[in-house]
A and B are shown apart, each in its own frame.
Chain A
Amino acid sequence: MSFNIGEFISSIFDLTAGDYLASVWGTEPWVSVVLDILGILIVATIPLLSVFFVGLIERKVLARMQDRIGPNRVGGKYGLLQMFADVVKMLTKELLVPAGADKVAYFLAPVLSLATSALLFAVVPFAPGVIGTNLGVGVFYVLSISSVSVVALLLAGWGSNNKYALLGAFRAVAQLVSYEVPMILSLLVPIILASSMSTMDMVEAQAIPFVIFAPISALIFFVSSLAETGRSPFDLLEAESEIVAGFHTEYSGMVFGLFMAAEYMGIMFMCFLFSTAYLGGYRFFGLEEIVLGNGFQLGRLLGLFITIFKGALVFFVFMWLRATLPRLRIDQLLNFNWKFMVPLMLMILLTVALLDRLILDYIPQVGEAGRAGIHFVSNIIIGFAGLEVLRRSARRQRLRHNTTSPVLAVAENEGAPIYVATEVEPAHDHHGHDHHGHDAHAPVPAH
């Protein structure tokens, strides 16, 4: 087969360029290396460049949710070039290294952070047959790579020689390490249902999206992916009102930009992973299998758009939550994880594992829809049972410490919420100088 420029361009448009080049170039060893390098450049640089748009979209959407306009000056009406302007600014800033910093750790951290975020995209199935590499252990690869980013954060905090950075890094490690557990467990559910660790097989197995099989598990995965990417309400690691900027307090210029890019790439990846594992990835009612008469793989192109659409949908919820929820406290955060999400997820995992085997062995005639229905019902039951246990223990706890919140305690005892208007007593001053105009709780100067 000889190279034909027309066919090559057409193959780019229906995302089969890799197959086309492989068929033209033959099967020599160097061909696979060149194709892999081309694939890597595409897989790594497109997410990196789309950070410009994702960042802008987030700023615009957040602004609208907070009744602002957001970036609207640079690059026309919608501030389209705002992020490019930001990057140019970052690139021309001085590369500052704080005094006493550990230089190796200080510069290794952002590099490691971005590299791991980029590496994650190797196993995202974008469209049928369009994937960096279809690893047999895809999900396992994702988990092992994403746990390296914890090391990057710890290096950043430790290397900066700054107390805020170090506090942020400690929090980051505690949070990321804790929330990795429910994330691992909730990824095991789609693996069991698809009976494969490969992300591609997982999508192929979802004639019915797994979110219908296991909605509670999907929810737990979503919450832990919020925590893993350090998004609000889990943004303790860079809580700006408490510890300045957390682990990247001392970073400026492009070195900070790399952390930001890594964060956005991590978020994009988590959105894609959620849509791959639970929302059916590129599948949408057989739309991804369309092939036009002249061999043009329209389905692949549509599959790409479906993937991006589903990812964008999840990302919108990420932004929505950021605009809505306040930040958690670290003890609440860790308690919620270890005492609620992990036990609940273990229960769900056990039920799914047992139930699926029983269905497949004894009642295979219910078919895919029946299987989905049974799993759905069992999942919802476990979810509500978990919430009920949580509610009761919370009530017990409130009754035990009812001194701290009289309003809630009264409501619990009477069985109905009652609004208790607390009378504010006038500030009492020892010397009778009541109307000095200061705050009632301010210390009174000695006379």
Chain B
Amino acid sequence: MLRLSNLSKYFGGVRAVDALELNVKTGEIFGLIGPNGSGKSTTVNLVCGIFGPTSGSIELDGVDLKRQAPHQRIDAGVSRTFQNIRLFDDLTVWQNLWVAWRDAPGQEHSWFSNWFGRSLSRRHEIQKLLEFSGLGDKSNNLAGNLAFGEQRRLELARAMASKPKLILLDEPAAGMSSAEVTDLRQRILTMKEMGITVLLIEHVMELVMNVSDRIGVLNFGTLIAEGLPEEIQHNPLVQKAYFGSSENTSGGDTNAIDQ
């Protein structure tokens, strides 16, 4: 599904992502973990087109994404959430989804009605997605007035509104209570059942170990390990990267880039 080959992104002398090889298979939940500043968010931003890569290629189902503008990658089937929630606060909950909405194949609106239609038919579908996200009764609230957990769910719903094949979740559990994490886990599994491939970037091990089919570990912009959750848990290289040793103090400088 998603194939990153020899992907690099340098910021000046800092190699945020360095000759990264990553292969996410169709229909799986791939967890991407790594210490702060290891290049996880930079990888997401490269796939989404926020940054252009220094070198290497990004392919989605064999299609080269590199030359596509960020909005075109949505049409190609990639969508994302942000580490710090970025909703359209002054729009209502359902308008947030309306902006991102893509019609299912075969049911596309004409150009004119896509932009200038009231699209009541869509409102019905949007409402269904909101109910799925547990926001059914909030559709006319302003997104900025929602509680934190609701905002996270709305951002997830917005990422699904474009009917993606692949969703990149950038630390979706950050700041969540453990009950909310359980709920999120269920939602991610439901996405998988719907046939959506998930690339999950996460620090909350409780989530990433329980939900991922495979896990990759990034450090200094390269993949240092890849495998099943239980393999990763017992991998000495991973433990070294996380807990550090004298010559391996990650984070710090590169963290700023990662932000």
A, B in one complex = no
**Which B residues fall within an 8 A CB radius of A?**
none
Residues in chain A within 8 A of chain B (CB atoms): none
